Amino acid sequence: MSFALTGEQIAIRDMARDFARARIEPHALEWDEQKTFPVETLREAAALGMAGIYVREDVGGSGLTRLDAALIFEALATGCPCVAAYLSIHNMCAWMIDAYGSGEQRQRWLPMLMRMDRLASYCLTEPGSGSDAAALTTSAAREGDHYILNGQKQFISGAGNPFDFYIVMARTGEPGPRGISCFVVEGGTKGVFFGKNERKMGWHAQPTRAVIFEGARVPAAHRLGAEGEGFRMAMSGLDGGRLNIGACSLGGGEAALEKALNYMSERRAFGRSIDQFQALQFRLADMATELEAARSLIWRAAAALDAGVQDATQLCAMAKRVATDAGFKAANDALQLFGGYGYLADYGIEKLVRDLRVHQILEGTNEIMRLIVARELVGR
């Protein structure tokens, strides 16, 4: 196994990093303060192939690997973890259509998603079923050529635009995972409603709403795969989603470390710059080491997912847990190194802390990541 990136991978990473520096980072604090969802900037990223990173090329995707995606999301998140994280969700939804959709479904929906003419959101979590996703209660009852959807999804990133797409898991059969099916629902469908834009600790640059179904009529042709296959699809999508959000955490942590290094080289105390104090140097060394260790695990898990190996799900869970913990810790430690200035919004450190905190919760909490790993270890 080689730990060196290829020339093409370095070029991909640098392209994403340059885009983050030029088009995301200069606006990140403003987007956060004004709660602006930068759709046009996301479409600029799409024009560079970042809306369907591992979607096949015949529908406009980039046809890259999960490792390539990890490099891209880490680079984008150095500009703003929140914006990068939404793009990762859009990619996950697009991949699910690419992986499980029919030829007609792929050709119908994916080209517009690749351009981000329309955005995609992932609807699994419900008010009463978060970590226990198999207990979801949103129902989809077959009536002729349509399904009638009733229920509510909670904490849906990017939700609220009637022109966008929603990948929705709904119950078509028996209790438990085998009774769940997957649907592509257009936001403008009659009977689809949206809750208020939630007030959140962080992630202010993307909306988060409930998506409510009250007798929503969805064509049967919008179902992905067969009835009862939805939970398997949802879990396979989350493997990659967990890598992506881990990579976004690395990018945010890397940005925090870079800000701390720059600040400490200029801030003086007791006659010298504070980066010359050994105790603070040790803090920086630990931050860099923990981020690098997490990066290695993200790359290892991404390679496993690309190869389709048996333990890929376990590795993705491990990587998500380690990377999101490391990224948040790096941002929190950077705030401490800034002292009182880190608590001020102008320096951008407190934003990184707020944005990265939720990464330890979404795409499966880190406690659930431990449960996935433990079950593999004990053979359950």
Query: What is residue 250's predicted lDDT score, i.e. its pLDDT?
Result: 98
Segment 350-361 mean pLDDT: 98
Q: Average pLDDT of the chain? A: 96
Task: Give residue-wise pLDDT tens across range 104-126.
Answer: 999 999 999 999 999 999 999 99
Element (H, E) at 236: helix 230-266
Minimal CA–CA distance to 68: which of 78, 80, 79, 55? 55
Is residue 367 over pLDDT 60? yes
Domains annotated on the chain, with CATH? 7-115 (1.10.540.10), 120-228 (2.40.110.10), 231-378 (1.20.140.10)
Cβ count near 217 (within 10 Å): 15
**Which member of 30, 57, 363, 367 is catalytic?**
363
Query: What is residue 163's predicted lDDT score, i.e. its pLDDT?
Result: 83
Cβ count near 203 (within 10 Å): 25
CA dihedral 283, 288, 293, 299 (to 10 degrees): 160
- Helices (DSSP H) in 116-162: which residue ranges? none
* Helix/strand/coil percentages in the chain, nearest 5: 60, 15, 25
Task: Give residue-wise pLDDT tens across range 82-97.
Answer: 999 999 999 999 999 9
Spatial distance between the Cα atoms of 265 and 273, rounded to a whole number of angstroms: 6
* Spatial contact of 318 and 369, defined as CB atoms under 8 Å apart: yes
198 catalytic? Reply is no
For 28-49, b/e burial (b = at least 16 CB within 10 A) is bbebbeeeebbeebbebbbeeb
Spatial distance between the Cα atoms of 287 and 92, rounded to a whole number of angstroms: 29
Tell me the DSSP string of 64-129. Answer: --HHHHHHHHHHHHTT-HHHHHHHHHHHHHHHHHHHHS-HHHHHHHHHHHHHTSS-EEEE--BTTB
Tell me the DSSP string of 250-301. Answer: HHHHHHHHHHHHHHHHH-EETTEEGGG-HHHHHHHHHHHHHHHHHHHHHHHH
* Spatial contact of 328 and 359, defined as CB atoms under 8 Å apart: yes
Spatial distance between the Cα atoms of 118 and 97, rounded to a whole number of angstroms: 14
- Residues with Cβ < 8 Å from 262, sequence gap 6 or more? none
| pLDDT band (50, 70, 90) for residue 287 | very high
Spatial distance between the Cα atoms of 377 and 360, rounded to a whole number of angstroms: 22
Segment 182-190 mean pLDDT: 95
Burial class (CB in 10 A: 0-12, 13-18, 19+), 176: exposed
Task: Give residue-wise pLDDT tens across range 296-310.
Answer: 999 999 999 999 999
Distances (CA, A) of 100 to 95, 116, 224, 250: 8, 20, 6, 30
Is residue 162 over pLDDT 90? no
Strand partners, 167: 122, 184
* Spatial contact of 149 and 183, defined as CB atoms under 8 Å apart: yes
Is residue 190 over pLDDT 70? yes
Segment 242-246 mean pLDDT: 97
Predicted model pTM = 0.95
